[in-house]
């Protein structure tokens, strides 16, 4: 979740011509990400047997050793993964550089695809080889991202701390000169990251509860639900770019004081998001047969899958608005509001599932309760709430009538 505030904070710093603030955000976010990554790696390696036991892989299981050989290297790659996430967020937020981000993703994919068969077949490492290939790819992408951001520095400018200083701050909790002088605060980054973590937890918990409600209904409904979740996520992420664009663009425009253009940008992104959402809904509606044949061959699963298409189509259409405006909310820095809104919407969906959902399709319609509530709330927050910078002044509204 740390990439969300990093995008907004770096975009605002560049818009206000405060490149020093970009360096502060990067230093703080890298320290936070690496501390969390190192802690997760160390604790994960120590607690690996217990973590596997939670996944029903006990001491006597034949899967224990292969699973452990895979889990430990992947945990050791956590610091590199979090580091590349932060640096990619800075490339997008501060410099609006999507091409470099694409190259970094391709670099990681190429390294992974080359090393995986080499380690598995050439060295006979099995699952451990696959894990080490992915971990090495994470660190390769992180190093490349580091130099990509560093190359953006201007003469006499410093965007990133030295490797030595970063290591001291992460491992020894050394403070930088700015912090010792009391000129910078970790509070905005920590508060935003905590709020986004709560928001994500509320959303994921609601989907897990939905799965729990569908499981007792039988194998066919559960299989159809699993297939639809995969299909839904694949189609949903076609809208993710609109969230990123609205966050970065609106954040920078509001920081510059150009609220009218920021509102125009938000409306244009929502319009494009709805168009793309309608397109993917058409693909789902008319291609459901082909999708089901690709995912399952059981006709009873196909029948249950068809029942889930209408609520999923409605959900995707609403997400065309919600995800686009989520980016605007993040760009405005309303992370705490987003977390509160997600919690209330998630609770409403859970109550609907408990009292009204009697089938898999009923569960998905209950999930729509969460999505509708979030959509209504975010539209009001962005365009109609008096404290929003994107609200049209009444004098302007009257003059246009």
Residues 189-248: tens digit of each pLDDT: 788 888 888 999 999 999 999 999 998 999 999 999 999 999 999 999 888 888 888 888
* % of the chain beyond a pLDDT of 90: 46
Res 177: pLDDT: 46
From residue 356, alpha-carbon distances to 213, 247, 305 in Å are 11, 36, 20
Q: Which of 257, 284, 281 is nearest to 389 (CA)?
A: 257
- Given a cut of 50, whether residue 127 has pLDDT beyond it is yes
Res 106: pLDDT: 93
127 in Cβ contact with 69 (< 8 Å): yes
pTM: 0.79
Q: In whole angstroms, what is the distance from residue 186 CA to residue 28 CA? A: 7
Res 140: pLDDT: 95
Q: In whole angstroms, what is the distance from residue 378 CA to residue 264 CA? A: 16
Res 349: pLDDT: 95
Exposure letters 86-113 (e unless 16+ CB within 10 A, then b): bbbbbbbbbbebeebbeebeebbeebbe
Tokens of 196: 């986004």
Res 4: pLDDT: 82
- Given a cut of 50, whether residue 168 has pLDDT beyond it is yes
Specify the higher pLDDT residue, 30 or 1. Answer: 30
- Given a cut of 60, whether residue 401 has pLDDT beyond it is no
Helices (runs of H) and strands (runs of E) counted in the chain: 17, 0
- Given a cut of 70, whether residue 396 has pLDDT beyond it is no
Residue 232's Cβ-count burial label (10 Å; 0-12, 13-18, 19+) is buried
């Amino acid at each position: 979740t740390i990439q969300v505030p990093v995008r907004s904070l770096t975009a605002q710093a560049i818009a206000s011509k405060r490149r020093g603030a970009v360096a502060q955000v990067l230093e703080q976010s890298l320290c936070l990400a690496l501390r969390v990554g190192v802690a997760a790696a160390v604790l994960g390696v120590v607690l690996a047997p217990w973590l596997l036991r939670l996944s029903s892989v006990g001491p006597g299981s034949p899967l224990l050793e292969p699973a452990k050989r895979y889990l430990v290297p992947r945990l050791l790659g956590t610091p590199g993964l979090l580091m590349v996430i932060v640096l990619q967020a800075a490339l997008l937020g501060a410099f609006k550089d999507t091409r470099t981000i694409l190259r970094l993703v391709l670099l990681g994919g190429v390294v992974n695809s080359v090393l995986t068969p080499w380690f598995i077949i050439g060295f006979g490492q099995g699952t451990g080889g696959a894990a080490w290939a992915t971990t090495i790819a994470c660190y390769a992408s992180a190093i490349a991202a580091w130099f990509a951001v560093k190359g953006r520095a201007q003469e006499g400018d410093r965007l990133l701390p030295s490797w030595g200083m970063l290591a001291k701050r992460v491992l020894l909790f050394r403070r930088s000169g700015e912090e010792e002088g009391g000129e910078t605060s970790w509070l905005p980054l920590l508060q935003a990251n905590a709020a986004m973590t709560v928001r994500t937890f509320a959303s994921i918990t609601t989907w897990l509860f939905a799965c729990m409600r569908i499981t007792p209904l039988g194998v066919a409904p559960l299989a159809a639900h699993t297939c639809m979740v995969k299909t839904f996520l694949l189609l949903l992420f076609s809208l993710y770019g609109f969230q990123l664009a609205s966050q970065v663009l609106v954040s920078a425009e509001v920081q510059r004081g150009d609220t009218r253009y920021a509102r125009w940008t938000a409306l244009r992104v929502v319009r494009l998001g709805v168009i793309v959402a309608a397109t993917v809904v058409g693909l789902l509606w008319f291609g459901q047969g082909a999708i089901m044949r690709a995912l399952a061959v059981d006709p009873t699963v196909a029948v249950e899958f068809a029942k889930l298409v209408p609520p999923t189509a409605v959900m995707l259409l609403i997400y065309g608005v919600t995800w686009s405006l989520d980016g605007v909310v993040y760009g405005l820095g309303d992370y705490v509001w987003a977390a509160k809104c997600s919690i209330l919407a998630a609770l409403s969906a859970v109550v609907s599932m408990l009292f009204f959902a009697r089938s898999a399709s009923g569960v998905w319609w209950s999930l729509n309760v969460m999505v509708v509530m979030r959509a209504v709330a975010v539209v009001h927050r962005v365009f109609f709430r008096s404290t929003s910078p994107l609200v049209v002044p009444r004098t302007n509204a009257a003059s246009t009538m």
